[in-house]
Amino acid sequence: MSTVSISGKGWVVIPKKLRARYGFKKGDRVQFIDYGGVLAIVPKAKDPIYKSHGMLKGGRSLTKALLEARREDLARE
């Protein structure tokens, strides 16, 4: 666990060991996310469309599942 100080301008230096582990390089962009008292630094995807491509591949079609559920609801009415 590393402890760092916040500068007067609000800057925080990510320790070298952590930058290397997570692949942070000069110019990379990050997002700060507040999880109800826990602050996370998350790398911003350079191309979010490309990164999410295929994320739901191979799973059940959500459209088909919704249509099936709707048919079941109509049959019960």
The counts of H helices and E strands in the chain are 3, 2
Domain spans of the chain, in order of start: 16-76
Fill in the amino acid letter for 39. Answer: L
List helix spans (H) across 8-54: 16-22, 48-52
pLDDT digits (tens, 9 = 90+) for 14-66: 999 999 998 899 998 899 999 999 999 988 877 767 666 676 677 777 888 89
- pLDDT of the residue at 51: 65
- pLDDT of the residue at 42: 86
Query: Residue 40 pairs with which residues in a beta bridge?
Result: 33
- pLDDT of the residue at 58: 74
pTM value is 0.52
- pLDDT of the residue at 71: 92
CA dist 32 and 40 (Å) reads: 6
